[in-house]
Structure formats: structure tokens, C-alpha cells
Amino acid sequence: MKTISKEVVNRLKDKLKNTSNILILSHYHPDGDAVGAVLSMSRFFGKMGYEVSAVLPDSSPVYLEWMKGVEDILIFEKEPELIESKFSEADLIFALDFNDPSRLKGMEKWYERLGAMKVVIDHHPEPKKFSDIIISDTSASSACELLYEFMKSVGGTGIIDREIATALFVGIMTDTGCFSFNSSDPGTYIRVAELLGYGINKDEIFNLVYDNYSDDRMRLLGYVLKEKMEVIPEYNTAFISLTMDELEKYSFVMGDTEGFVNYPLSIKGIRFSALFIEKPDHVKISFRSKGAFPTNLFSKKHFNGGGHLNASGGELYSNMEETLRLFRSLLPKYAKELK
């Protein structure tokens, strides 16, 4: 991971001298990195004495409900008027863990209009230019790992506490699949070691994130693997699809399908996996790969999405049948890359 340039840090420190209201944003369908980023930065600047508002486009997943402060995050889908006023009051705005304003899912109109200084801190490839300052490092495991460096460079070692360290650790742990990918940089472990030094309970955090599901969710996973996984060995691909009816049958709550997309990759020879979830007017898709197949480019080209090389997502304003038909029809074109 790169270090954050002195010039950027100084510009921010200057700006912070004339700032009272800070707005902190992250992306639609927030994951552990997004929520960890928003919560750690809110607490960090709150402790420094700023008026902070944390905003997400939609609710946090259930497996993060235990995180301290999560109930104070304002949700655009629930309180659009209040959030519009927070945008107009902000002097400084942080956009964390996303590379494209469209990931604000409806708030981008306010974001773009805003006169306040905008700072992006992110680790996704090919960031769009939508800020005054961009701290973008695709070699970082997670936005939270970058934020830890950011906090240290703005002079925050005395401010970082157990709660901030916990939120940062959640981001690093979830974005690396518990240190199974995007985590080969020795620096990541040095930073994690430092976070452990703040007294976080690593084992408890793991349990709270990964061993806290409902029995319905486990049964949904069983159903999905048995009945809904399609394996296409000739293209080293497997995928899962779920309709709204099926989700309802298993009392779906936000976050229940988290991780499902990874299961097909544990089949020998499978290097590309997709998860299709039916929504009222579109299909939401997650892609994962092993090795060199760029799921982000595939997603950008065919499914209006993007993300990282091995983990990305997209959406198609179509029904499930058409979406799956399109997906299957694309595979032969990529046969060589998928080998």
C-alpha cells in the first residue's frame, strides 16, 4: 500500500481548521468495509469536535447491526429530506469505499451540486473524477486499511480507540474474506497488529460477523446449494439465482445472501462465479473469480457494474430469465479467458 502524500495531508489539515460540519458517505448495499469506514470516520471526527453526519443510501446488513453507532447512520431511503439538509450544511465531505458517484443511488444530485470540499478515499480500480481530493490506492486491501493510514497522518493516533479500531478491523477482515484474498501485503498485517494493540477482540468480531445468522439463512444456503446452483464445467463457471418468492419463503433480511457467491468457487476447476438476485424491477448481480479473469470489466461491459478484478457487481433492468439467458450466452465468448 502507498503512503498518503504530505501535500494531500496538509491540504486536508488546512481545510479542517475551517470546518465545522462533516458529511461521511459510502455506497449502496453497504458491506463491512463501507459500514466500518463510515463508523470509524464518524467517531474519529466526532472525537475531534466536529459535527458529523454519517449517511448511507440504504440500510446496513443485519450481520453488522451489532456495530456501535450503526443506528445513528442516516439512511437516504428512509429520510431523504433530512439528508438533503445535511448535504447543504456540510463544509467537508468524505466519500468512502466507492469509485463512482452513481453508487450513491439517488444522492449524487446533491453530491454533485455541493460547494463543499469533497474527498474520496477508496481502493477500487479506475476511480471517476468526482472529488477535490482523491486518495485512491488499488493495492489497499480495503478502504478501512487506507483510513487507518489516513487517521494516523492527520494526527489521530491519540484519537483512535478500541471502537474505531474495531470498525476498521471489520472492514479489513470482510474485504479480504478473513485474509484469504487481497491481503498479501505484509503492511496489512502490521496495520492489523497495531489495531489489535487498541484492545479489539478479534475472535468476538469474527463471531459477531460470521456466526450470527438466523436458521432461515442457513436453510436458504442449503436450498441454494442443492437446488439453485448451476455448474458449467466447460467454462469453469458456476452460478446461483434467487427469486423474490424464494427469498421471502426463507424470511430474507438484508445481508442474508452475503457470501453465497463465494461457495461455487470451492468446486474444483470453478474459477468464475455469479449470484443473481431478483429485485422488483431489476436483477442485482455479484461476480467473483479466481486468477486473472477480470469480473469488473465483464460486469462493466455487460451488466452496468464494476468493482475489483476478482470481486465485482452489477445490475440489469430486466427479468431473471432474460438476465440468465444473457449471462449464459456470453460465456462462450470468454471461454479462453476462463480456462
- Phi/psi at 258 (nearest 5 deg)? -55, 130
| Residue closer to Mn ion (CB basis): 95 or 270 | 95
Residues 6+ apart with CB under 8 A from 227: none
Q: Applying CB under 6 A, does 36 fall inside the site for ligand 5GP? A: no
Q: What H or E segment, with its residue span, contains residue 148?
A: helix 143-153
DSSP state of 60: P
Q: Applying CB under 6 A, does 29 fall inside the site for ligand 5GP? A: yes
Q: In which order are the strands placed within the sheet that holds 237-242? A: 229-232, 237-242, 272-278, 283-289, 311-316, 306-307
Cell numbers 476462463: residue = 338
Cell numbers 436483477: residue = 283
Residue nearest to ligand 5GP (CB): 313
| Nearest in space to 144 (alpha carbons), one of 114, 116, 112, 176 | 176
| Residue closer to Mn ion (CB basis): 217 or 308 | 308
Q: What H or E segment, with its residue span, contains residue 299?
A: helix 295-303
Name the binder of 127 from Mn ion, ligand 5GP, none, CB < 5-8 A by kind.
Answer: none
| Residue closer to Mn ion (CB basis): 44 or 327 | 44
Closest separation between CB of residue 315 and ligand 5GP, Å? 5
| Residue closer to Mn ion (CB basis): 33 or 278 | 33
Residue nearest to Mn ion (CB): 33
Q: What H or E segment, with its residue span, contains residue 311?
A: strand 311-316
Q: Applying CB under 6 A, does 145 fall inside the site for ligand 5GP? A: no
Cell numbers 455448474: residue = 231
| Residue closer to Mn ion (CB basis): 176 or 273 | 176
CA atoms of 268 and 257, how far apart (whole Å):
22
Name the binder of 183 from Mn ion, ligand 5GP, none, CB < 5-8 A by kind.
Answer: none
Total residues at the site for ligand 5GP (CB under 6 A)?
Answer: 14
CA atoms of 60 and 26, how far apart (whole Å):
11
| Residue closer to Mn ion (CB basis): 175 or 278 | 175
Q: Applying CB under 6 A, does 278 fall inside the site for ligand 5GP? A: no
Residues 65-104 that bind ligand 5GP (CB under 6 A): 100
Cell numbers 438476465: residue = 323
Which SS3 state, helix, strand or coil, does residue 25 take? strand
Residues 302-321 that bind ligand 5GP (CB under 6 A): 305-308, 311-315
| Residue closer to ligand 5GP (CB basis): 200 or 311 | 311
Q: Applying CB under 5 A, does 33 fall inside the site for Mn ion? A: yes
Q: Applying CB under 5 A, does 122 fall inside the site for Mn ion? A: no
Closest separation between CB of residue 20 and ligand 5GP, Å? 31
Total residues at the site for Mn ion (CB under 5 A)?
Answer: 5
- Phi/psi at 238 (nearest 5 deg)? -145, 150
> How many angstroms from the chain centroid is the CA of residue 206?
17
Q: Applying CB under 5 A, does 97 fall inside the site for Mn ion? A: yes
Closest separation between CB of residue 300 and ligand 5GP, Å? 7
The binding site for ligand 5GP (CB under 6 A) comprises: 27, 29, 31, 100, 286, 305-308, 311-315
The binding site for Mn ion (CB under 5 A) comprises: 33, 97, 142-143, 175
